[in-house]
Structure 1
Amino acid sequence: MGVARSLPQPEGTKYPYELVIVHGLTAYVAGQIPKQNGELAYTGKVGQDLKIEEAIASARICSHQVLAWLNYSAGGLENLDRLLRMTCYVAHDDSFENISEVADGASNYLIDTLGDQGRHVRAVVGVKSLPRNAPVLVEVTASLLAPV
Structure 2
Amino acid sequence: MLRSTSLAVLLFLAVVSRGTAQTGRPDVEKKLAGLGITLPKLNPSKGNLLRAVRVGNLVYLSGHGPDKPGGGQILGKVGDDLTVEQGKEAAKLCGIALLASLKHEIGDLNKVKRIVKVLGLVNSTPTLTQQPQVINGFTDFMVEVFGESGKHARSAIGVASLPSGIAVEIEMIVEVE
Pairwise same-fold verdict (TM > 0.5): yes
Distance, in Å, in 1 between the alignment partners of 2:141 and 2:133 is 13
Give the match for residue 39 of structure 1: 72
Cα RMSD after superposing both structures:
1.6
Segments of 5+ residues of structure 1 without an aligned counterpart are none
State the SS of the aligned residue for 2:86: helix
State which of 105, 127, 136 in structure 2 corresponds to 1:73: 105
| Identity within the alignment, % | 26
Q: TM-score normalised to the size of structure 2?
A: 0.76
State which of 10, 25, 39 in structure 1 corresponds to 2:57: 25
Between the two proteins, the alignment pairs up a number of residues equal to 144
Distance, in Å, in 2 between the alignment partners of 1:117 and 1:12 is 29
Deviation at 1:12, TM superposition (A): 5.5
Distance, in Å, in 2 between the alignment partners of 1:28 and 1:140 is 6
Structure 1 runs of 4+ off > 4 angstroms? Answer: none
Task: Select the structure that is richer in helix.
Answer: 2
Task: Select the structure that is richer in strand.
Answer: 1
Aligned AA (2:72): E
Q: TM-score normalised to the size of structure 1?
A: 0.89
Segments of 5+ residues of structure 2 without an aligned counterpart are 1-26
Higher relative contact order (CA 8 A, sep 6+): 1
Instruction: Evaluate the alpha carbon distance shift between residue 127 and residue 11 of structure 1 in structure 2; reply closer, same or farther with a 3 A threshold.
Output: farther
Higher-Rg structure is 2
